[in-house]
Structure 1
Amino acid sequence: MTKGEIAKNNFMQGYNCAQAVLLAFCDDLGFDEQTALMLASPFGGGIGRMREVCGTVTGMYMALGLARGYSDSKDNADKKRVYTEVQQLAERFKEDNGSIICRDLLGMRAKAKDNPTPSERTEKYYAVRPCPELCRYAADLLDEYLKNKKG
């Protein structure tokens, strides 16, 4: 099963988009699932359902940080490398999906009214949302990216 299939399945089980993507990488990164779920929980729905940066993208960046992040606050070269990688992944995501902004991906014209109540996960919900496929896409994109960085 690909990372994308795992992420899509995670989303279909009710996890938010950021959780679904980050969770797909836990085993490979040695990161415990409970911590991943807690860490990514605020980022669903475009960060707290504000429809800003897509949760699949933030989940992808959290996994990238675990795989290739930096910890030395004075290492500007490593900071630059990480930020460059983030920007490269964002550009690729935008090229293939049109945006990294949740409301754009969902086809919302203006900023949605701030409503923290999550949508009920029904068949209709899954049928009209691009989210499951975006989870798949983001996880597969990062997986491919990380494999290329190892080689």
Structure 2
Amino acid sequence: MNTIKINHKDQAKNYFMEGYNCAQSVFLAFSDEYDLDSDTILRISSSFGGGMGRLREVCGAVTGMFMAAGMIFGYTNPRDQIQKSEHYTRVQYLAKKFEEKNNSIICRELLGIDNKRDIPVPEERTKEYYKKRPCFELVSMAAEILDEYIMEQKGEKVWQDQQNGEE
């Protein structure tokens, strides 16, 4: 894993500004952490934008963060209850960190949308779109939360403090 080489936070934001959905933006930002090609990453995560296909459920940025965490830390043995529990604990921790900053992990709540579901047609990405949507901030935040978690797991908290000028 090459956790430190890429600024995942800025990368996720840039991908979103290029037009990728929230889940794609975060999952793709961490592509240096796993052995998947960009096309596969984008296809896997394409269904999760707009809170899962614009159903406005769990935020795509959060889902992208969970997918990246699964690729980096996930389990493969369906009978290993310890690994499953550890991973679900990890997912809940990441969700809690996101929720602490945003009061929710639900897309419609984050966007202030009243309807439970949205039309399946995505909005055109215009200057007005980017002005009214906090999504670029949310993908950046999700990537930052996962980066912090990865660094903590690898004992790289010292590196982060140095980068923030807190020596």
Alignment of 1:28-67 (within 5 A): 28-67=33-72
Please identify the structure whose Cα radius of gyration is greater.
2
Query: Is the counterpart of residue 26 in structure 1 residue 31 in structure 2?
Result: yes
Per-residue CA deviation, residues 4-23 of structure 1 (Å, 9 max, x unaligned), is: 11000000000000000000
RMSD of aligned residue pairs (Cα, Å): 1.0
Q: Is 1:102 matched with 2:101?
A: no
1:75 alignment counterpart: 80
CA displacement at 1:108 relative to structure 2: 1.4
- Which secondary structure state, in structure 1, belongs to the residue aligned with residue 63 of structure 2? helix
Q: Percent identity?
A: 54
| Larger RCO of the pair (alpha carbons < 8 Å, separation 6+) | 1
Q: CA deviation at 1:110?
A: 3.8
CA distance in 2, matches of 1:122, 1:136: 19
Shift of 1:53: 0.2
Would you say how many aligned residue pairs link Structure 1 and Structure 2? 150
Task: Structure 1: give runs of 5+ residues left out of the alignment.
Answer: none
**After TM superposition, what 4+ stretches of structure 1 lie above 6 angstroms from structure 2?**
none
Deviation at 1:27, TM superposition (A): 1.4
What 5-or-longer segments of structure 2 have no aligned partner?
1-5, 156-167
TM-score by length of 2: 0.87
Which residue identity does 2:100 align to in structure 1? E
Q: Report the Cα offset of residue 28 of structure 1.
A: 2.2
